[in-house]
Structures are given as C-alpha cells and as structure tokens.
C-alpha cells in the first residue's frame, strides 16, 4: 500500500448529490418560507471543525475495468432482478472435482499450558488483574507470523483449559508450517512479555522447546455438509480464501482477509485498502465484505450471505472513551502478495499495560521501527499512520460526533461485487441462491413517504415546479396546511382521551440552554395549544450533558451513576406541580453515544423513582454555521433546515414521551387500511410479544447480567400495550408500561442462560413464558384471535428448542431432548405462534429491478435498486418462512455507485451521476417463521406483522421489529444496572461506520 499523501482528484468532487430531484429533495425535508411565528433562538458559538490531516490512502485506479467474465455475469444476474436477487449463495450439487478446504488447528502442549496457567496465577495473586499475561500480544504475533492465519483465540484461559481445550490458532497452512510459525510467535512472545519474572520466562521457553505443539487437520468438502460449528466456520473461511486478492470493487484494488477473533463462528471479513476520500470534508474509506452463514428451520444446508458496506478511517481517536479499535495493514511483498489485515486495540491513557496495550506491544515486537506509543494528543502518531512496512489506522465510530458519511454500499456496487464473487465461488461449489418468491401484499404502495404534517404548522408547503406551472401550487399550500391542522387536532384529541384533556410537561434544560427550552415549549404549544401545560426549569448541574464535562467521567460505571443520582436528589425532592412526563434539553459531547448507557439511564431512573413518570432527552438546536462561503441563499437554506430539524426532533421527542409510556401506537391509517383488516372477520384481536431484555450482557464474557423476560400484549382495537415482566419477586402481572417500569426498579434478577452447569435461570424463564402462553390460549376464540410473536434473537438462549437445529414443528420443546416437556404446541393449539429474527441472524439483502438502465465502465444493464415495502416467501420445506422488507423512506438515491461514475439512460437523455459519498443504508429483511397458524392464514399473519412495523408515523421508515415488541426498549431504559460499561470499550460493542 503506497505511503504518500493522497493525490489530487482526477474527477470533480460532487458538491451535492447529482441525482437529487424535486421529489428527492422533498424526502430530505427541504423547508422554505419559514413562518414568522417561529421564534429565532440566539446564535451559539461554533467551534471550528477540526479536519484530520491526510492519512495513508490508495488512489483510484484511472484504468479501472470489470474483470474478465464479470460483464456477462452482471447481465445474467440482472435478468433475475425482476423476481428479486438475494445477496446469498448456496451449496451446489456434489462435484468430486472441487478440492476440499483444509484448516489446521494448533493447540498448546499440556506442559506449556499448565506452566502458563501457573505463571499467570502467581502474577495475579501478587498484582491482581494487572498480572494477567498479555495474550493480545501473542494473538498479534501469531497473525503477523502466519500469513495463512484464519482465526486466533483471544482468551488465555481457553487455550490452557485441559477439560475443553481450544485451539490457539486456525490456519490454512500445512501442519508443519503452522507449527513452525506458531513456535516462532510463542517464543517471541515469551521473551517479550514485559515484567515477567526471568525464572518464569526460562521455564516457559524450555517447555516450548521440549514439547511440540499439537495440531488437528479439519477437512471440509462443500459436497458433504455435516452441519456442525466447524462446518459453518470452514464454509466462511473457504469462501474468504477464494475471494482474497480479487478486485470486487473496480479501481479499489484487491480485497484482503481480516483475521477473525472468533474460532467457531460462520463469519469472515475482507476489506479493501483505505482509498482517497471522494467528497469535501469526507474521511478516507474502504469497502468491507462480510461473509456469513445463515440457516433457516427445516433447510438442511446453510446459505452464505455476502454483506457489503463502507468503513471510514481516521487518525483522530478523540471519539473513543476507552479502547481504540485499530487495524494494521502489513505491506504486500513478493512472498506475501495479499497479507491479511489484523485488528488490535489500545488505550490512549494506558498504552503500556498488559490488558490495554498488549496488541500494540505485539505489533512493535514485529515492526521495531514503530514508535513506543501509538498516540500523541488523542491522535495516532503520524509515524504510525505512515509506517511503510505496516501502517495503522483507527476506525471511525458511528454516532460518536464524526461528521460525514461514506457508509453503506450502493446497488450498482452490490451487483458488480456479487457478480465478481460468484465467478470465484463457483469453483468452490457455491452458486447464487434462487430460493425466494415474491408475495403480493394487499394495498402495498411502493416507496411510500413518511408524512410529517406538523412541518406545515411552521413552514408553508413548497410547491413543485410542475404544480407552479399548472397553477395548483396555491391550492396545494392550503391543502397541506389543512392536513397539518387536522393532524394537530387529532393529537389534541388523543391528549383528551388519555391524559384528561391536558398533558402536564416538566421541561428541564441544561444551564445555558434556556432559549432551546423556550423554542421547544413554543413548538409544543403551537401544536397542542391549551392541551399542554409546560413547567420549565433549569436542571441541576452535574446530572446530564457531555460526559467529559461531568464529575467522575473516568470512574467505573456504577460510581458514575451514583454521582448522577446524587446530583438529582435534592432537586427532585422540591415541591412542584404534578407532571405526566419530563423532557430534558441537554447537549451531547463529541464522542458521546446518542444513548449514554450510564449518565442518561441513571437520570431516567432517578426521575422515575422520584416522580413516577418517564423522561425523554432532546438535543438542543444545532449551532448556526458561521462559515462565510459567499452564498447567502445556501446559508439561509441551511438555517431553515437546522431550525426545522429541531421542530422535528422536539415533536417526536414529545410523542415518544407521551405515547411510549402507555404503549400507544400512532392512530394513523397506513398504506393498507386498518390493523383489524388483517384479521378477517374477527371482532377483536391481540398480539403478544415474548422477548428478553438484558443490560450489560457480554457474549464474550458470558457474565450474569440484569435480565427481564417480558411479555408485551397489544390490543389491536385500542392500540394500547400492557406488559407482564418476570422480576426478582415473580411475575408482575399485566400492567401499563409506566407502572411496569416502576415495578422493575431494584427488582430485577441476574441471569446467565449460557451457564451449562446451572439451568435455573433458563427454567425460571421457561416457566414464565409457559404460564403466559397457557393463559393466552385460554382466552382465544375465532372472534378474538391471539397472535404470539417470539423474539428469536433474545429468547432462543433461554428457550434452546427454538434454535434452527433443534426446532421441530410437530414436537416443540423448551430444551432439546427433554422428554418431560415435549409436544408443547398441543397445549397451545389455538394460538398463532411466530418466531422473528432481525439482528443476530439477519437474512440477505435483496436487489430488485429499477427503472431505465445504467452504464458502468462501458457495460449497460438494468438498474438495480433495493427491495423495500414487500414480502418474500422461502421456497422449500421446514417452517413456513417469510422475509418482510421494510423501507428507508428518506433515501434519496437509487441506481448509483459509491466510487464509480454511472450513466443513467432515460427516455430522451443520458444523465451522468457522480459517486455518492454520503451515508447510505438499505432496509434489512425481518425473518418471520410461522410455527403454528392458529385461526389465521399464514400470509394474513405476515401481513399483520408488516402493518405493525409501520405504526410509528413519527419515526423515519419502518420499525425494526413490529409492535408491541418494539416497546421492549422502554423496559431496557429503566433497568438500573451499571456493573459494566461494555458500550465504551468492549470489543463486541464497538459500532463502526459501515452498516450494510
């Protein structure tokens, strides 16, 4: 990878999205003709934006072209767009000519494992946790020494365990080569561990020299799928090996594997080198390819999903409060033309400690010319960024104060990458999957926009050019104003029905933000008039705000939470008028997450304890852009957009506060009519969601965490939700959400469903769910059906019988192989049972056919576009399975690329479209498995759940999960658990810019 400053662009950078149309601008919330009634807040001081200096990037190849055979494959795949093209591969028919994939597992010998355990035990007895051996350093050395490394273990106790031994390394190298590399890495590690007693160092080195490492060769053939965990791992690794070195993104260079830290998962990752930013103010980015196996109930073989995204890079680590996620890019050599990328972690304040800096110590052991510490004033040392043999860059963390986009892969890039990958994977027995059929959904309107009628209470509708030309513009302005007034009247009527005619709001604001609070009050009073009563106060200091400005910001989570609660105590004891909810106008600091897991939760819990009501945060209005660019109209447009953004956020914050507290859906008509229409002739229906809410749970540590099994029951007639929670003192019974969250304060239990030796937590949760289902089954009638949706992502650990490998529709069990509780479905015969999955095991993205054609790199083909607002059915046996795709209604671009120029062919002209470099995301399918239809047809159930994902009109797009399951986050917000702070440093919870 070249070590030079980024060269100048060869093409003009797009100042704005070249594909933006009037309709697209409408979707982005363009606002004009602000009404004078809207007050103007005082201008805040704007801090100058700090831009990262040029960092190591690869320039675009001006001679980019499609690889041989890709153009024809793109044309072949484009034919399938009309029916839906899933980004997934399946194992083809048996072919003896396909060579098997061989993986070598390297294990420590017994003597060395015992010695390592003993040495670490003595060190910990003397130094505590600081005495832990720096296994991260060893992991880095193993990856850097072995260019064929696939996966490396991160926990020393696992590789030294005698009862359940775990391999130190999984590699594609032959056993003798793998052992040689591993011994070299172990030797370098033993000699380089800082502070190790010399006698212990000698003992460990002697054990390594005298006793050989043990290896196991695992052979995988695509034609002989056995279904175990190693099969999933080997399938992903085989595909990654087939793709490394290919140019899936023309002009961006070959993709490299990223060595995994998960030994058995069916996931693998590859990445391009970082490339020059295409837009002004953007950060360098790289394309990321994630391969992931996916199973469906009753289908004997898995799919291999191809997930694409873009990842941003920086040298600024100011957005990290704890560990910083770094990636090292070893330079290609003739011996290693495509070396894998390795991940490491370091902490700016504790670089030399074993736990936080072991990764970097390992990197320095291999590359001795690196500086002693990687950071200088919360930035990567320029010598680290530009280190020729192995440059190091930091990941940009999503939602951590970073401006810019460059996330998500666009449809043209998806289609070209999928076509390129399909050619290579065919030689390994993998072919594009053809297992979906489109389902017609009554009343569906493709690409329906989110309406925000409240905007026209503050700004007149701006007619389109066509409306102005035809003279209908003035009429449209009046119509939109009337719609806004009707919507506001409906909101006031809701207040009458559920809050006795007036909502009493306690509006608190941080010191110095009185103007923002006044503006929020003005917005709500404009909408609700005398149906809202606002009591405005300054909130006490040290309760909420930018984390870096709060006392104790370096403390562990629990002490930090105690400080926040203590700061609230006297203030909340003061006498004041009763209220129905609290809104807090508080700024967010650079690098802070939008949902602070400690400070915000502690404040919400303190308010609920003292006042018995829920709280909702609202960020102040964005500061005005004081940069002088000579374009007065653009500055005015930015100011209007900034001000209406606050109108939108204030309105939605109030809706969340008022209606989530009582589990209320929006009373709006969606694109297919009333909710009850999906139930046929039923008079009334109910939907109950079973889910498990956990706080401070780490899959890596498998720790006990505060866990609340929940049942959330929605009455489709009243559109209100009740909750039944399993708490420390037993079931709460059915309560409204506000009372239910009050009951859980200090009344939760610690659970760990992963404990093999103690199944008490699983059994208690299973008994709770069984009691709920038994009760619901007793209420069912043909005139009042009961639909039960089970969150497979959270419930399966407590109910293992719902995992794909154990699920049997004719013999539903809580625990596989448990004879005492079998054929559970017989006791729930009248219920409609559905399992949902949206997070842990996502289904593939689906491309469909767009309008016109596009031309890329001289190849012309139909425009691919994302699938939205539609449903597909899986073809094949097993549980009836559907993929319900939502919509991203404010998306502005289709049929474009993130790095290539695209020519879009219209009826009469060809439009040249520059690369789209801003944030881009497409909706994920919701997997719906109908376990038992009950009194409803299968497709009617899916149709109902689809409607329940669209009942929040004040949210952009569809909810990830249908109501009432989407209310589970309300329960989570009020669980007072601060034992850990995984969101601020745990390697599992680092969220990067680069969503698929």
Residue-wise pLDDT tens digits, 188-215: 999 989 889 999 999 999 999 888 899 9
The answer, yes or no, to whether residue 40 has pLDDT greater than 60, is: no
Q: What is the pLDDT of residue 319?
A: 63
* Residue-wise pLDDT tens digits, 586-603: 998 765 666 677 889 999
3-class SS of residue 456: helix
123 CB contacts (<8 Å, ≥6 apart)? Answer: 131, 132, 133
Please give the structure tokens belonging to residue 147.
Answer: 């260019």
* Residue-wise pLDDT tens digits, 711-740: 999 998 888 999 999 999 999 999 999 999
CB 874 within 8 Å of CB 436: yes
Bigger pLDDT: 226 or 748? Answer: 748
Q: What is the pLDDT of residue 63?
A: 85
Q: Which of 219-228, 249-258, 264-273, 593-602 has the lowest mean pLDDT?
A: 593-602
Task: Work out whether the CA dihedral 432, 438, 444, 446 comes out positive or negative.
Answer: positive
Give the 3-state DSSP-derived string for 281-321, with helices as H, strands as E and coil as C.
CCCCEEEEEEEEEECCCCCCCCEEEEEEEEEEEECECCCCC
Give the whole-angstrom CA distance, residue 543 versus residue 586.
Answer: 10
CB 995 within 8 Å of CB 308: no
**Confidence class of residue 658 from pLDDT cuts 50, 70 and 90?**
very high
The answer, yes or no, to whether residue 233 has pLDDT greater than 80, is: yes
- C-alpha closest to that of 846 among 425, 240, 433, 446: 433
Q: What is the pLDDT of residue 225?
A: 84
**Confidence class of residue 148 from pLDDT cuts 50, 70 and 90?**
very high
Q: What is the pLDDT of residue 555?
A: 86
Please give the structure tokens belonging to residue 836.
Answer: 């949902």
**Confidence class of residue 554 from pLDDT cuts 50, 70 and 90?**
confident
DSSP β-ladder status, 392-395 and 324-328: antiparallel
Q: What is the CATH number of domain 496-660?
A: 3.40.50
Farthest CA pair distance, the chain = 91
The DSSP line for 905-929 is: E-SS-EEEE----S----PPEEEEE
- The mean pLDDT value for 29-41 works out to 32
Alpha carbons within 13 A on the beta-carbon side of 270: 30
> What percent of the chain shows pLDDT beyond 70?
83
Highest-confidence segment of 205-219, 548-562, 886-900, 971-985: 205-219
Burial group, residue 816, by CB count within 10 angstroms (0-12, 13-18, 19+): middle
- The mean pLDDT value for 512-525 works out to 96
The CA–CA distances, whole Å, from 477 to 457, 465, 600, 643 equal 11, 13, 41, 20
Q: What is the pLDDT of residue 130?
A: 84
The answer, yes or no, to whether residue 992 has pLDDT greater than 60, is: no
Bigger pLDDT: 879 or 94? Answer: 879
Q: What is the pLDDT of residue 681?
A: 64
Q: Which of 375-379, 403-407, 642-646, 791-795 has the lowest mean pLDDT?
A: 403-407
DSSP 104: E
Highest-confidence segment of 51-65, 216-230, 413-427, 539-553: 413-427
Bigger pLDDT: 442 or 260? Answer: 260
C-alpha 819 chain-centroid distance:
38
Judge if the upstream peptide bond of residue 595 is cis by omega within 30 degrees of 0: no
Q: What is the pLDDT of residue 593?
A: 64
Rounded to the nearest integer, the mean pLDDT of the chain is 83
What contacts 24+ positions apart, CB below 8 Å, involve 796-799? Answer: 797/692, 797/753, 797/754, 797/762, 798/692, 798/709, 798/753, 798/761, 798/762, 798/765, 798/766, 798/769, 799/762, 799/765, 799/766, 799/769
Q: What is the pLDDT of residue 699?
A: 62
Give the whole-angstrom CA distance, residue 109 versus residue 165.
Answer: 10
Query: What torsion, rounded to 10 degrees, do the Cα atoms 367, 373, 376, 380 define?
Result: 40
- The mean pLDDT value for 751-775 works out to 90
* Residue-wise pLDDT tens digits, 623-656: 765 544 556 667 777 888 888 899 999 999 999 9
- Kindly provide the b/e burial profile for residues 176-206, where b requires at least 16 CB atoms within 10 angstroms of the residue's own CB: eebbebbbebbebbbebbeebeeebeebbbe
3-class SS of residue 652: helix
- The mean pLDDT value for 319-338 works out to 83
Q: Which of 341-350, 772-781, 799-808 has the lowest mean pLDDT?
A: 341-350
Q: What is the pLDDT of residue 15?
A: 35
> What percent of the chain shows pLDDT beyond 90?
49
The answer, yes or no, to whether residue 122 has pLDDT greater than 90, is: yes
The answer, yes or no, to whether residue 404 has pLDDT greater than 60, is: no
Q: What is the pLDDT of residue 546?
A: 87
Give the whole-angstrom CA distance, residue 114 versus residue 112.
Answer: 5
Beta strands per DSSP E along 115-250: 149-152, 169-171, 214-220
Give the whole-angstrom CA distance, residue 848 versus residue 870.
Answer: 11
- C-alpha closest to that of 847 among 432, 434, 419, 415: 415
**Confidence class of residue 915 from pLDDT cuts 50, 70 and 90?**
confident
The answer, yes or no, to whether residue 2 has pLDDT greater than 60, is: no
The answer, yes or no, to whether residue 954 has pLDDT greater than 60, is: no
- The mean pLDDT value for 567-574 works out to 96
Give the whole-angstrom CA distance, residue 29 versus residue 318.
Answer: 31
**Confidence class of residue 889 from pLDDT cuts 50, 70 and 90?**
low
Query: What torsion, rounded to 10 degrees, do the Cα atoms 381, 383, 386, 392 define?
Result: -50
Q: Give the count of beta carbons closer than 10 Å to the beta carbon of residue 591.
A: 21
3-class SS of residue 624: coil
The answer, yes or no, to whether residue 70 has pLDDT greater than 80, is: yes
By 3-state DSSP, what share of the chain in percent is helix, strand and coil, each rounded to 5?
Answer: 30, 20, 45
**Confidence class of residue 311 from pLDDT cuts 50, 70 and 90?**
confident
Q: What is the pLDDT of residue 41?
A: 37
Read off the pTM: 0.86
The answer, yes or no, to whether residue 101 has pLDDT greater than 50, is: yes
The CA–CA distances, whole Å, from 847 to 417, 843, 924 equal 13, 13, 12
Q: What is the pLDDT of residue 12?
A: 32
Q: What is the pLDDT of residue 13?
A: 34
The answer, yes or no, to whether residue 5 has pLDDT greater than 50, is: no
CB 752 within 8 Å of CB 704: yes
The DSSP line for 221-251 is: -TTS---SHHHHHHHHHHHHHHHTT--SSTT
Give the whole-angstrom CA distance, residue 718 versus residue 715.
Answer: 6
The answer, yes or no, to whether residue 45 has pLDDT greater than 70, is: no
Task: Domain ranges for the chain, please list them.
Answer: 101-220, 496-660, 675-843+924-979
DSSP H helical ranges for 500-631: 514-528, 557-573, 599-611
The radius of gyration of the chain's CA atoms, rounded to the nearest angstrom, is 29
Q: What is the pLDDT of residue 123?
A: 92
Give the whole-angstrom CA distance, residue 556 versus residue 576.
Answer: 33
């Amino acid at each position: 990878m070249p070590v030079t400053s980024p060269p100048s662009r060869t093409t003009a950078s797009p100042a704005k999205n070249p594909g933006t149309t009037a309709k697209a601008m409408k979707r982005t919330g363009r606002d004009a003709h602000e009404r004078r009634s809207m007050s103007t807040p005082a201008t805040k001081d704007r801090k100058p934006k700090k831009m990262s200096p040029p960092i190591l990037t690869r320039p675009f190849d001006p001679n980019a072209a499609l690889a041989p055979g890709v153009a024809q494959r793109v044309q072949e795949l484009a034919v399938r767009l009309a029916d839906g093209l899933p980004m997934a591969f399946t194992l083809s028919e048996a072919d003896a000519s396909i060579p098997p994939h061989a993986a070598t597992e390297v294990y420590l010998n017994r003597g060395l494992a015992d010695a390592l355990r003993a040495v670490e035990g003595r060190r910990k007895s003397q130094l505590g946790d600081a005495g832990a051996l720096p296994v991260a350093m060893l992991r880095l050395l193993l990856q850097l020494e072995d260019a064929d490394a696939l996966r490396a273990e991160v926990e020393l106790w696992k590789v030294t365990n005698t009862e359940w031994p775990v391999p130190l390394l999984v590699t594609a190298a032959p056993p003798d080569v793998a052992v040689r590399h591993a011994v070299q890495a172990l030797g370098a590690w033993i000699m380089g561990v800082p502070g190790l007693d010399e006698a212990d160092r000698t003992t460990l080195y002697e054990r390594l020299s005298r006793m050989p490492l043990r290896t196991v060769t695992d052979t995988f053939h695509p034609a002989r799928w056995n279904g175990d965990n190693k099969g999933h791992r080997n399938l992903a690794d085989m595909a990654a090996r087939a793709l490394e070195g290919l140019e899936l993104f023309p002009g961006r260079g070959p993709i490299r594997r990223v060595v995994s830290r998960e030994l058995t998962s069916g996931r693998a990752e590859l990445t391009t080198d970082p490339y020059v930013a295409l837009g002004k103010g953007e950060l360098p980015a790289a394309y990321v390819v994630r391969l992931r196996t996916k199973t469906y109930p009753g289908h004997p073989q898995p799919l291999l999903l191809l997930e694409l995204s873009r990842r941003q890079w920086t040298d600024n680590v100011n957005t990290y409060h704890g560990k910083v996620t770094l990636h090292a890019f070893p330079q290609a050599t003739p011996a290693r033309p495509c070396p894998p990328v390795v991940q490491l972690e370091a902490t700016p304040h504790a670089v030399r400690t074993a736990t936080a800096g072991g990764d970097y110590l390992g990197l320095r052991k291999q590359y001795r010319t690196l500086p002693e510490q990687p950071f200088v004033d919360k930035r990567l040392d320029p010598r680290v960024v530009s280190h020729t043999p192995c440059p190091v860059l930091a990941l940009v963390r999503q939602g951590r104060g970073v401006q810019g986009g460059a996330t998500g892969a666009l449809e043209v890039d998806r289609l070209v990458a999928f076509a390129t990958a399909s050619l290579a994977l065919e030689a390994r027995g993998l072919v594009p999957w053809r297992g979906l059929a489109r389902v017609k959904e009554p009343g569906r309107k493709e690409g329906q926009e989110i309406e925000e009628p409240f905007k026209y209470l503050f700004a007149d509708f701006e007619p389109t050019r066509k409306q102005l030309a035809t003279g209908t513009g003035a009429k449209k302005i009046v119509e939109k104003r009337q719609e806004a007034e009707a919507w506001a009247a409906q909101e006031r009527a809701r207040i009458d029905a559920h809050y006795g005619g007036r909502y009493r709001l306690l509006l608190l604001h941080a010191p110095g933000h009185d103007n923002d609070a006044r503006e929020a009050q003005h917005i709500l009073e404009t909408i609700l008039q005398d149906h809202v009563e606002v009591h405005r106060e300054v909130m006490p200091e040290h309760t909420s705000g930018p984390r870096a400005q709060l006392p104790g910001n370096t403390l562990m989570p629990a002490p930090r939470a105690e400080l926040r609660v203590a700061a609230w105590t006297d203030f909340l004891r003061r006498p004041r008028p009763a209220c129905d909810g609290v809104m807090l106008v508080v700024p967010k600091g650079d690098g802070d997450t939008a949902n602070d897991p400690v400070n915000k939760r502690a404040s919400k819990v303190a308010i609920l304890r003292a006042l018995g009501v829920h709280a909702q945060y609202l960020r102040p209005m964005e500061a005005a852009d004081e940069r002088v660019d000579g374009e007065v109209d653009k500055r005015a447009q930015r100011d209007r957009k900034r001000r209406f953004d606050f109108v939108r956020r204030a309105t939605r914050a109030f809706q969340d506060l008022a209606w989530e507290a009582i589990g209320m859906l929006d009373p709006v008509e969606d694109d297919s009519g009333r909710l009850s229409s999906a139930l046929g002739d039923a008079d009334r229906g109910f939907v109950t969601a079973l889910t498990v809410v956990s706080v401070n749970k780490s899959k890596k540590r498998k720790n006990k965490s505060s866990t609340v099994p929940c049942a959330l029951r929605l009455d489709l007639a009243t559109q209100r939700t009740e909750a039944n929670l399993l708490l420390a003192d037993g079931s709460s019974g059915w309560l409204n959400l506000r009372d239910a969250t009050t009951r859980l304060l200090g009344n939760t239990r610690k659970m760990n469903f992963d404990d093999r030796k103690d199944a008490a937590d699983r059994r208690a949760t299973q008994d709770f769910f069984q009691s709920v289902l038994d009760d619901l089954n007793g209420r069912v009638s043909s005139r009042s059906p009961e639909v039960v949706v089970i969150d497979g992502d959270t419930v399966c650990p407590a109910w293992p019988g719902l995992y794909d490998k154990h699920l049997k529709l004719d013999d539903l069990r809580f625990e596989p192989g448990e004879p005492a509780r079998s054929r559970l479905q017989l006791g729930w015969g009248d219920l409609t049972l559905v399992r949902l999955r949206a997070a842990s095991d996502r289904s593939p993205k689906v491309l469909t056919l767009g309008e016109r054609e596009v031309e890329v790199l001289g190849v012309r083909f139909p425009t691919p576009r994302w699938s939205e607002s539609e449903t597909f059915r899986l073809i094949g046996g097993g549980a009836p399975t559907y993929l319900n795709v939502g919509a991203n209604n404010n998306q502005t671009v289709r049929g474009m690329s993130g790095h290539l120029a695209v020519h879009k062919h219209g009826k009469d002209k060809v439009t040249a479209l520059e690369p789209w470099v801003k944030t881009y995301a497409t909706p994920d399918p919701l997997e719906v498995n109908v376990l038992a239809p009950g009194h409803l047809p299968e497709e009617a159930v899916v149709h109902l759940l689809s409607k329940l994902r669209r009942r929040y009109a004040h949210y952009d797009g569809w909810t990830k999960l249908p109501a009432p399951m989407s209310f589970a986050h309300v329960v989570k917000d009020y669980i007072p658990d601060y034992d850990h702070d995984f969101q601020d440093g745990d390697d599992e919870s680092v969220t990067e810019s680069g969503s698929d």
